[in-house]
Chain A
Amino acid sequence: MPDAREVAISLWASSRSARETPTTHGFRHLLEHLVAKGRDGTLDARLESEGITLTASTYRDATHIQLSCPVGKEATGLAALAEILRPFATTPEAIRREVAVMRHEFASVADADRLAAAGWVASFGGKGLDPFGTLAALEGATPDSLRDLHARQFAKPNLCVVVVGPVDLDRTTARIAELVATAPDGGPSAGDPLPAPVAGRVEIEQAVGEARTGFVNGFLRPGTLATLGAALAVASEMGDCFVAYTPSLGPGVVTLGREEQVGGLGARLDALTEADKATLYRSGYDLLRRWIDRYLTSPSGVAYLRGFLQVQELGARPEDAVGLAKKMTFDEFKEGLAAFGRDRATIVVGVRR
């Protein structure tokens, strides 16, 4: 993207070699917090002084470090990644302090996230643990366990670096190769397939709102995009709704929900007429294409989606989603809507008592 106003840099580290168990649930999240501080705890402030922002996120499939740099400062951004990839070291005190901060994070999770997480757990049981983790598990984290986790997750076979923007391709590619060469080699990865999802109904007391999870089989599948388009259309029509979806290439869910109120979303979904569906199809078709375009037209969007797909499966391309979205038929869209039906979706109801 030679005309872009920024250079976006994404480092993706697959979680395939770092699956969590109930006793390590949230270690990747904790590691993300600690690793993003850099070698001396001041990485963010140093980058921000150069106009560079850093964000870090933990997903089920991978950990993501994203930098947005002014044009010409990509070398500083890549040097920041070198701090993240270097062998990790921390102290019990640093872990204790960060877990104390995460205790506040756990308490202030948005209701939308709580509803979506509850939908996943109800659908898949104990598999595919929520990347957020539990405080009980985090209290068991040690410097050694995190150093080992870093060495496994940030190993060469698990990494993908994407740089998007007006950069010198040869020089940047060579720099990325140097960077990745410093990472550990890594061993074989253990697979952890999800079980078939089970529809149901769950009530939670930590949030107010409602949500429905529609089951999907992977981002680059027509049914998945139709389900996503259906969720976007209903959310747009109703307003104040949220759609949660991580473009995983494996099985997962599209969550359509509404914070703050209970009843309206489900009632709407269960009462859709054929005419309603036709109207929603028109907006869903446009909204789905706009959703994909968002990840193809900005450096940060491209770095996010291309990197996320590549780190899951070499050769997976976001452009393939454009073709699938363009071909979405009315029947496919209706099937996408049906995924949120009361008999097919997991229903989550949040009532704070």
Chain B
Amino acid sequence: MIAAAVGIWLAQVSPITTLPMPESGADTVCVQAFVVLPALSAPFRAQLEVLADTLPKGADNYTEAQIRRYTGIVGRPLRATVGPDYLRLEASCPPDQLATVLGILASVLRAPTLSNEAIEDSVLARSTTTPSDWSIALDPLRLDFRAIRRSDLLDLHESIVRPESTFLCVGGKFDPKVLAEVVAGRFSGWNPRKVVGRFDYERETRSWNPGLRVVSLVGPPISLRAEPYAPLLAAFALGSGKGSSVFRVLREANGWSYRQEAFLWPDREGVRLRTVILSEARAVSPSPEEAKKALIADVAGWGEATRARALGIAEAVLLRDAPYLPIRLSARDHAETENLAGRTRLAGWWFLKTGEVWDPQGVLDGLRTVSLEKMKEVATRNLQLSIGLVRKPEGAT
């Protein structure tokens, strides 16, 4: 379990903000580097995906082989992934390699090689990749990687990866004092740069598996800074476990789907409450309005037993790492608490969204303060204001 955080070092102490999350029982260390993203149009989003692929392929002070060797010892080599809100780099290592791995991260963030060969490899792989149906359901943006050049990535890197937009979260077995010294040393002299603001937003969506139909309800942005607990408890009640509204209403009562989830989805302004329903294309499945109506009717009938179930499953998730936390970090990252990398990832993300340290017992205590009326009000409002989206094969109704 995550021990109490020992402190957060602000920028005046270290060049970048760092959140230490020591765990005495761990035998490894996990480092997460979050880079805050501006709104990006499809071409820049494509560049960012290639940048993420290319960052671990070498930097000023480390070759790709060295990066792989030092960060691959415990089976999770350095990798960078793109979410709706953050570019995130993750590396794990034995405790005695932490200084080396932080040096690698600093080098990769500050001076990546971005070789033409690595870029070509990424562009080829990306251009021939078909994401899973569920990934496309969550993030249908279609990206064109073909025209990406090294100069594009250098510009994008310079614009986005800056010390003032970078945040570290370190979990596992380490001495926080030593960590502070190493971070200060490895990231010294990394100074803020001018932001290039040119990332307008547009969408073009991917082609869809003809065997499937997806209905999505996307709520308005919710800031978790003022009140993180009511939206989270509403998400537990609506989407977590087999007693959840989406399971009971969409699957059990109506037979509209096998896989249906409701969760908090990252947004640059905070999160959004999203419901995603995956159905066989020719089977009976709901329109967005039907799904919304059915869920709102169910929420209206929530009682203290619903709240008790939501708190019960929240306890299982928060205190015993049951894999039902209704938060997603990207189309590919479900928030996890059952392993160190997942906990460290979640701790960093949670801090950036709420300004609070991830403390499972504290979060559970916070959830317990949310009344039934508040939980219902948050769920109802976000469902009522949600936008309905449907993706289906050509010709399907």
Contact = CB atoms under 8 A, between A and B. Distances in A.
Given A239-B77, A260-B132, A108 B248 contact: no
B147 to A, nearest CB: 20
Interface stretch (B224-232, B307-315, B375-383): B307-315
Interface size class of B (residues with CB under 8 A): 35 or more
A87 interface: no
B313 A352 contact: no
A259 B252 contact: no
Contact of B128 (A50, A102, A262): A262
A208 B132 CA distance: 8
Interface size class of A (residues with CB under 8 A): 35 or more
Contacts of B74: 286, 290
A104 B320 contact: no
A49 B77 contact: no
Contact of B259 (A97, A100, A108, A208): A108
Contacts of B209: 352
Interface in B285-329: 285, 305, 308-309, 312-313, 315-316, 319-320, 322, 324
B355 interface: no
B91 interface: no
A53 B128 contact: no
B178 interface: no
Interface in A23-47: 41-42, 44-46
B220 interface: no
A256 B161 CA distance: 35
A90 interface: no
B133 A108 contact: yes
Given A101-B255, A104-B259, A104-B279, A53 B134 contact: no
A110 B255 CA distance: 20
Interface string A250-261: 000000000111
Given A286-B73, A290-B75, A45 B242 contact: yes
Given A45-B243, A100-B283, A264-B125, A236 B132 contact: no
B242 A54 contact: yes
A108 B309 contact: no
Contact of B75 (A51, A100, A260, A287): A287
Nearest to A299: B320
Interface in A111-145: 111
A66 B163 CA distance: 46
Interface in B331-361: none
Contacts of B73: 283, 286
A104 B316 contact: no
A68 B322 contact: yes
5 contacts: A44-B247, A48-B312, A97-B255, A104-B256, A290-B75
A54 B243 CA distance: 11
B320 A68 contact: yes
Q: Which 7 A-B pairs have the closest CB atoms?
A: A45-B243, A44-B242, A105-B258, A107-B280, A104-B258, A208-B130, A51-B312
B77 A236 contact: yes
Nearest to B212: A107
A104 B241 contact: no
Interface in A50-93: 50-54, 68, 70
Contact of A236 (B1, B75, B211, B251): B75
A325 interface: no
A319 interface: no
Contacts of B313: 48, 51, 53
Interface in B259-297: 259, 278-281, 283-285
A270 interface: no
Given A108-B134, A286-B73, A352-B209, A48 B243 contact: yes
A105 B256 CA distance: 11
B128 A49 contact: no
A50 B255 CA distance: 26
A53 B322 contact: yes
Interface of A: 5-6, 41-42, 44-46, 48-54, 68, 70, 97, 100-108, 110-111, 206, 208, 232, 236-237, 239, 259-264, 279, 283, 286-287, 290, 352
Nearest to A350: B130
A102 B129 contact: no
A278 to B, nearest CB: 12
Given A70-B319, A107-B278, 18 more contacts: A45-B241, A45-B248, A45-B309, A48-B241, A49-B243, A49-B308, A49-B312, A54-B242, A70-B315, A97-B255, A104-B280, A106-B280, A107-B281, A108-B133, A108-B278, A208-B130, A239-B79, A261-B125
Interface in B70-121: 72-77, 79
B129 A107 contact: no
A49 B283 CA distance: 32
Contacts of A262: 128
B68 interface: yes
B280 A44 contact: no
Contact of B320 (A5, A41, A50, A279): A5
* Most chain A CB inside 10 Å of its own CB: which residue of B72, B74, B125, B324: B72
Contacts of B166: none
A104 B75 contact: no
* Most chain A CB inside 10 Å of its own CB: which residue of B1, B134, B309: B309
A264 B132 CA distance: 17
B192 interface: no
